[in-house]
Structure 1
Amino acid sequence: MFDWLVNLSAIFVFNTLGLEKGSHLGEALHFFIYDTIKIFILLITIIYIVTLLRSYFPIEKARDYISGKNKLVGHVLAAIFGVITPFCSCSAIPLFLGFLQARIPLGVTFSYLISAPLSDAVVIALLFSLFGWKIALLYVGLGLLIAIVAGLVIGSMNLEKEVLIEIKPVSMQYQEDETLFSHRVKESWEYTKDIFYKIYLYVIIGVGIGAFIHGYIPADFISKYAGGDVWYAPIVAVIMGIPMYSNAAGILPLVEVLTQKGMLLGTALSFMMAVVALSLPEAMILKRVLSVKLIGIFFGIVGFAILLTGYLFNIILG
């Protein structure tokens, strides 16, 4: 989707600025420029579209349907929707915000936020080509399970008060005349700017941290401390993976290298899940939207689930 942006940022960094491809600074700066602009585009586009659409449609009815008697349905649908949206953890935040603004139940929005970065069609294809269809299906199935269960747990804790941004009611009531659409467009744009101005600095800081890690942390460092068949390897892998930042397709080549260097596949996949589903840049961006308490609960629940998944992978594949 954003190949053109990757190419443009590469031309700027490696041709215009003259930095060397493969160098720590060059790779970090390339990542920073590309990912910051990408997330800004997604933020503005998705929040604007969701805000404009919710002025036309009865969001309350959709919310009541999703949060109806069978709560599991909403979480399953959100998790499946996450699989078909090719976003990394930070890129999924704009749609997560859109769901919050549409008053979708908090737990359901987290099921989406967890599921979206874990797997998509590209990741499934890469997993299949690298490790076979059994590993691919097991990974996707466990990823969906983590998203659904974690969303259900968070939703049951009544944490709506920990959302820091104002969830405005849909109050656009207009006469059916020729100015109707222009009013909606203007108000939606003003609301989008308001949300963007509140979080853009956190996006820059978060992506900056991710870019530094992307450019300066080598694979050998990870395999040295989280490789081998020791009981604590998945714990170390998850702890090391959380501060990092990448999408699943981007981290899979690293997973292949780590397994070749002696890391168990379950440990490597739990590292991959921690990198893509939880990241320090994601936490920095969410800090402007959610309380530290809610972010901590989110990271704790998902991190523990990923850890269990790593051990389960190692048992099944051992």
Structure 2
Amino acid sequence: MFNWVQNLADWLVYSVFGLQHGAHLSDALNFFIYDSIKILILLFVVIFFMGIVNSYFPIDKVRNFLSKNKFYGLEYLMASLFGVATPFCSCSSVPLFIGFVRGGIPLGVTFAFLITSPLVNEVAIGLFVGLFGIKTTIIYIVSGVILGMVSGIILQQLKLEQFLTPWVKEVLANAQREQDAFIAEKQTLKQRLPIIWTEVIKILKGVVPYVLLGIAIGGLMHGFIPEGFFEKYMSKDSPFAVPIATILAAPMYMNASGVLPVVQVLVSKGIPIGTAIAFMMGVVGLSLPEAMLLKKVMTLKLIGIFFGLVTLCIIISGYLFNLIL
């Protein structure tokens, strides 16, 4: 879908700027240009689409329906499966997260998507089958979906809406006021578009600085941290290898398909597969750039709770992988 963006980034970095292939600076800059364009496009499309949806469907009724009706956990399963179906990295998932929150989807259900989306996707699944076989791939998919569901359910029970930032609360209030006006005046879609467009631009202005800062940090990590830097800390003889691997993975930033070759190298060097997969999940699910993007929509306390719970679930999954495999 975004091949043209990668081609554009390659052209700018290697032809226009004349930087050398494989150099740290060129890798970092290429990553920054590609991810900036891709995520801003996603952000615009999602916010604009949700603006149209919100203008027709009452936010408070959607929220109340999902919160009060008994789905017996299916809403979390559906959110996690939707995360599997979206081939996005953690930072690319944030625009959808913002759209879900703006649309009145309960926070726990939204978290289930946000957690699962970077961990499991169809590209990673295809690579996983080729590298580790069907059995390991099935366990990986199921564990990723369960991780998203369990984390989402726990976070929903904690009633964390109060820790969303004032910016998010203002966006929600504006969306509700716009919708009330649309319904009262019975406006057509053509009449609604200028108001929706104004709100989209307003949201983008608030989010873009955080997006660019987060991607810049990710680009520096991507370009300047060697892939084999952390291998020496994941000794197969250490009982603490799984938590160490998970924590050391957080400063890195790659999507699941990008980090899988690294996982294969770790396994080939004798590191238990559960430890290697915990490292992979930490890379794609606990990235510092993602935290920088989330800072616009979550307070530091909520970010800490979110990352703390995901870290715990990844560590448990790593140990279970080592036991099973």
Q: TM-score, normalised by structure 2?
A: 0.93
Is 2:183 aligned against 1:173?
A: yes
Contact kept, 8 Å, 1:229 with 1:264, in 2: the verdict is no
Match of 1:303 in 2: 311
- Whether 2:210 is the aligned partner of 1:209: answer no
* Counterpart amino acid of residue 173 in structure 1: I
Hey, what's the Cα distance between the residues in 2 that align with 1:174 and 1:12? Answer: 49
Between the aligned partners of 2:146 and 2:9, the Cα distance in structure 1 is 36
Residues of 2 paired with 1:175 and 1:270: CA distance?
53
Report the counterpart of residue 43 of structure 2 in structure 1: 43
Give the aligned partner of residue 87 of structure 1.
88
Aligned length, in residue pairs: 315
Residue 263 (structure 1) aligned with residue 238 (structure 2): no
Separation in 2 of the partners of 1:315 and 1:161?
39
Say whether 1:272 aligns with 2:280: yes
Query: What root-mean-square deviation, in Å, do the aligned CA atoms of Structure 1 and Structure 2 show?
Result: 1.4
Question: Superposition pairs for residues 51-66 of structure 1, below 5 Å?
Answer: 51-66=51-66
1:54, CA displacement in angstroms? 1.7
- CA offsets, 1:215-262, max 9 Å, x none? 111122111122433111111111111122111111111111222233
Render the CA deviation track for 1:169-225: whole Å, top value 9, x for unaligned: 232225446xx2233111111111111111211111111111111111112211112
Matches within 5 A, 1:151-230: 151-164=152-165, 165-166=168-169, 167-168=172-173, 169=176, 170-171=179-180, 172-173=182-183, 175-176=185-186, 180-230=188-238
1:250 matched to which residue of 2? 258
**Taking every aligned residue pair, what percent have the same amino acid on both sides?**
45
Q: Is the 8 A contact 2:48 2:197 kept in 1?
A: yes
Q: Where in structure 1 are there 5+ consecutive unaligned residues?
A: none
Given that residues 44 and 200 in structure 2 are in contact (C-alpha distance below 8 angstroms), is that contact kept between their aligned partners in structure 1?
A: yes
What amino acid is the match of 2:192? R
Give 1:66 shift: 2.5
| 1: CA distance, partners of 2:205 / 2:290 | 17
Paired AA for residue 45 in structure 1: V
- 1:146 maps to which residue? 147
Task: Give the distance between the partners of 1:176 and 1:304, measured in 2 at CA.
Answer: 49
Q: Would you say the 8 A contact 1:66–1:73 is kept in 2?
A: no
CA distance in 2, matches of 1:66, 1:250: 35
Once residues 302 and 119 of structure 2 are traced to their aligned partners in structure 1, the CA distance between those partners, rounded to angstroms, is 20
Distance 1:105 1:152 in 2: 10
Q: Which residue of 1 aligns with 2:246?
A: 238
- Is the Cα contact below 8 Å between 2:62 and 2:104 reproduced in 1? no
Corresponding residue for residue 32 of structure 2: 32
Runs of 4+ aligned residues of structure 1 deviating over 6 Å after TM superposition are none
Summarize the Cα distance change of 1:269–1:4 in structure 2 as closer, same or farther, 3 Å threshold. Answer: same
- In the aligned structure 1, how far is the partner of 2:227 from the partner of 2:258? 13
TM-fit CA distance, 1:28: 0.8
AA at the equivalent of 1:56: Y
**Aligned match of 2:6:** 6
Greater displacement, 302-311 / 54-63:
54-63
Stretches of structure 2 that go unaligned for 5 or more consecutive residues are: none
Cα 1:236/1:84, change in 2 over 3 Å: same
Q: For 1:96, give the aligned amino acid.
A: F
Instruction: Note the C-alpha offset of 1:302.
Output: 0.5
Q: Distance in 1 between matches of 2:186 and 2:91?
A: 39
Could you say which structure has the higher helix fraction?
Answer: 2
